[in-house]
Amino acid sequence: MTKHKELAEKVLSHVGGAGNVYQAWHCVTRLRFNLTNKDNVDIEAIKQIDGVLGAQFSGDQFQVIIGNKVADVYAELEPLVENEGGGKNDQKSGKSGVISSVMDFISGVFTPILPALAGAGLLKGFLALFVTVGWMTNTGDTYAVLNAIGDSVFYFLPFFLAVSTARKVKTNEYLALIVAGTMMYPTFIDAANGLTDQTSFTLFNLSFISIPVLSYASSVIPIILSVLLLKYVYNGVKKVVPSVISLMFSPLLTFLIVLPITLWIIGPLGSNLGEGLSTVFVWLFDVAGPVAGLLLGGLMPLVIMTGMHYAFVPIAIQNINSSGTDTFLQPMMFISNLAQSGAAFGVAVRSRNKALKQLAASSGISAMIGITEPAMYGVNMKLKKPFIYAMLSSGVLGAFAGWYGFKAFALGGLVGVFSIPVFADPSGAVGAIVVAVLLFVLSLVIPFVLVLVLGFKDIPEENDSTPVVENKKEIVASGKEKAINSPLKGELVPLKDLSDPTFAQEIMGKGVAIEPTENRIIAPISGEVMVLPDSQHAIGIKGDEGEEILIHIGIDTVSLKGEHFKAFVQVGDRIEVGELLITFDREAIKEAGFQTVTMIIVTNTPDYLDVLPMNESGLIFEGEQLLTIIR
């Protein structure tokens, strides 16, 4: 059995098996799942699999971070899901939030076509670079042929999106291609380009149905909306057409309904919506470029961690289609990715841990290419300070890029060293590529120097038995880590911001707080219930590896004497990670005049080198990694 197949089988087993997989795909670094029942996921077991860098829920999408080999692992996973009957259930459990559903949909539509966009975009970038350095002219036959190859995927983008959207919403791909083909038909394209005198089209001699003349070449939103309409119309038609003639008449009736509506209403609406979104982002960077660059450049790692960068892809494509440039997505990702690389290289030089040095060097190379998750999850976030240095550096350089007007002239896929050509101006102007090279160097060097000069708390090697004195207690550093999952869903709150000084001053120990958005507490680790007062407002757990976790629901809620709380376990019970522990009524607690912010504290903090929150702000999901404790 190959290593990739073994990894795929283990991941599939711990997500609940193929029958629990509603849909599976992958992006550049992550396996992505829509699951029928997310409660069947053993997230802690998945994180312990050799070859897995991390795992998390992003909304209702479950992500397993693999890194560079994700395509190989997915190639082994896909037949396992299909052969065992996964993905057949059209009903997912639970209700997805609007934002979560939109993010999941966009990533599912664009991820499959990224290789085509990346290859074609990079070719166009190299052509622009060759013109800039004088190796080629933009008037020769060679340029014309190669430009046609690079431009084809963008010009005929509605065809690619028709297929990926149809697959995502589970409708007939070939019917979706008919929709795209109609939108791209020469009758309409020629009219839009002024090659004919036609200014509009009237359908069925009905004067109020006036189809405007538009070119849908390179468009994004119109075809996606049209395929969504196709799905529901086609499903509805099949229900009323007798099965004996459905093969012919269901598609026919679907076309007669969907395509007029598409050309008359949805296409123009989607086109205007796309142009509007593009105009907003272009205006934002034109008017407040430094501020926009500072925020987006600095926060890009957090955007990538949640997968939200996929939401920007259609806007970036629309920008390139409308104005010929991308002013925000690729420029900011370019700076941010390289900053993560530079920070990781700094760790590789400064750390005395041989294993960490090797990991930092290899993940730094990956981040420089454009794959940042190994560096972010495996090195920089784990040490915390390098991650902060990288974000600060990319924020400052992002502000400069926004002020200067740094932009990409094509969509280049992985944004890193090999995407430098997409920042070359096709007109041959040298300034753009010079700034790209300058930002490349600074994005690597600044966080690298910050890590070397300001340092970080290193992780001792496992065989280093040197005693470390912390809080007047002698502990032995091993470098081993233990993940603590989030016991509830909500908004992260730093302990220092709490009104209760006992928690704010970390007297009880290090940890983090969460303002809950749901009414239940699950086990963040496996172990034994050690403390559960009659008021049921708090619970203490001792984990299998000696970690002691206190979950305290609300501040001063002991005064409620158990009202609005219900425990499902008792002292001495054995619990498993993810098991339901307590439910509570947060609205009733608030009405009673108490805060519901919930503290998750490692009460034996002195037994560890450090207790590190994965994040100190933002949304956290139930079962997502919350803390890392380092022994």
Is 526 part of a structural domain of the chain? yes
Q: Are residues 494 and 598 in the same domain?
A: yes
Residue 515 sits in the same domain as residue 568: yes
433-462: pLDDT as tens digits: 899 999 999 999 999 999 999 988 887 755
Same domain, 74 and 50: yes
Nearest to 490 by CA among 363, 608, 356, 595: 595
pLDDT of residue 98: 62
Catalytic entry in 24, 27, 81, 575: 27
Q: Is the pLDDT of residue 481 over 80?
A: no
For residue 307, is pLDDT > 80? no
Cα–chain center distance at 557: 36
Residues 531 and 404 in one domain: no
Per-residue pLDDT, averaged over 573-588, amounts to 91
Task: Read off the pLDDT band of 478 (50, 70, 90).
Answer: very low
Mean pLDDT of the chain: 83
How do beta strands 481-485 and 21-26 pair? unpaired
Query: Where residue 413 falls among pLDDT bands split at 50, 70, 90?
Result: low
Tell me: pLDDT of 476 over 70: no
Q: What is the pLDDT of residues 287-306, one digit of tens each?
A: 888 898 888 888 888 777 65
Last residue of a domain, one of 92, 116, 139: 92
Confidence of residue 92 (pLDDT cuts 50, 70, 90): very low
Query: Is pLDDT at 94 greater than 70 in this prediction?
Result: no
507 and 387 part of one domain: no
Beta strands in 556-617 (DSSP E): 565-567, 574-575, 580-584, 598-602, 610-613
**Within this chain, do residues 228 and 299 fall inside the same structural domain, yes or no?**
no
Q: What is the pLDDT of residues 337-368, one digit of tens each?
A: 999 999 999 999 998 888 788 878 887 887 88
The residue among 92, 127, 143 that closes a domain is 92
Can you say how many angstroms the Cα of residue 222 is from the centroid of all Cα atoms in its chain?
24
Query: Which among 105, 89, 112 is positioned nearest to 21, based on CA atoms?
Result: 89
- Interval 166-193 mean pLDDT: 90
- Pairing label, strands 625-630, 481-485: antiparallel
Average pLDDT over residues 268-284: 79
> Residue holding tokens 């979706």?
176
Distance between CA 53 and CA 63 in Å, rounded? 11
Contacts of 172 (CB under 8 A, 6+ apart): 166, 234, 251
Cα 614-342-361 angle, rounded to 5 deg: 85
Say whether 27 is catalytic: yes
Alpha helices in 262-353 (DSSP H): 267-287, 289-306, 309-323, 329-350
Same domain, 240 and 301: no
Statement to judge: residues 591 and 486 lie in one domain: yes
Q: Is residue 116 part of a domain?
A: no
How many folded domains does the chain comprise? Answer: 4
Residues 395 and 294 in one domain: yes
Pick 149 or 55 by higher pLDDT.
Answer: 149
**Region 75-99 average pLDDT:** 59
> Do 160 and 251 fall within a single domain?
yes
Task: Give the end of a domain, one of 436, 454, 472.
Answer: 454
How does residue 86 score in pLDDT terms, banded at 50, 70 and 90? very low
- CATH number for the domain that contains residue 16: 3.30.1360.60
Asked if residue 358 is part of any domain, the answer here is yes
User: Could you tell me the pLDDT band of residue 524, with boundaries at 50, 70 and 90?
Assistant: very high
Averaged pLDDT, 245-261:
91
Sequence-distant (≥ 6) Cβ neighbours of residue 498 within 8 angstroms: 504, 513, 555, 597, 599
Residue 39 has pLDDT above 50, yes or no: yes
Specify whether the backbone of 370 is left (phi greater than 0), alpha (psi in -120 to 50) or beta.
left
pLDDT at site 1: 56
Q: Are 322 and 431 in contact (CB under 8 A)?
A: no
pLDDT-wise least confident of 15-24, 406-415, 477-486, 589-598: 477-486
Report the pLDDT averaged over residues 532-537.
87
| pLDDT over 80 at 2, yes or no | no
Quote the pLDDT of residue 100: 60
pLDDT at residue 84 is higher than 50 = no
- Is 354 contained in some domain? yes
Domain range spanning residue 230? Answer: 156-285
Say yes or no: 218 and 329 in one domain.
no
Percent of the chain clearing pLDDT 70 (strictly above): 89
Contact 159, 180 (CB under 8 A): yes
* Residue of 273, 280, 282, 281 whose CA lies nearest to 214: 273
Q: Which two tokens stand for residue 58?
A: 């992003």
One domain for residues 311 and 429: yes
Residue 107 located in a structural domain: no
Identity of the highest mean pLDDT range in 18-22, 155-159, 313-317, 415-419: 155-159
Residue 471 confidence (pLDDT) above 90: no
- Residue-level pLDDT at 68: 63
What is the four-CA torsion angle of 2, 23, 580, 488, rounded to 10 degrees? Answer: 100
In a domain, 104, yes or no: no
Point out the least confidently predicted range of 42-56, 292-306, 475-489: 475-489
CATH number of residue 494's parent domain: 2.70.70.10
Residue 472 has pLDDT above 60, yes or no: no
DSSP type of residue 619: E
**In this structure, which long-range contacts are made by residues 126-134, counting pairs with CB atoms below 8 Å and at least 24 apart in sequence?**
126/421, 127/426, 128/409, 128/410, 128/421, 128/422, 128/424, 128/425, 128/426, 129/420, 129/421, 129/424, 129/433, 131/424, 131/426, 131/427, 131/428, 132/424, 132/425, 132/428, 132/429, 132/430, 132/432, 132/433
Asked if residue 122 is part of any domain, the answer here is no
- Would 110 be classed as within a structural domain? no
Residues 6+ away with beta carbon under 8 Å from 132 = 424, 425, 428, 429, 430, 432, 433
Which residues are CB-contacts of 583 (< 8 A; sequence separation ≥ 6)? 519, 520, 521, 565, 566, 568
Q: What is the dihedral of CA 402, 403, 409, 414, to 10 degrees?
A: -40
Cβ-Cβ contacts under 8 Å for 264 (sequence gap 6 or more): 203, 209, 210, 211
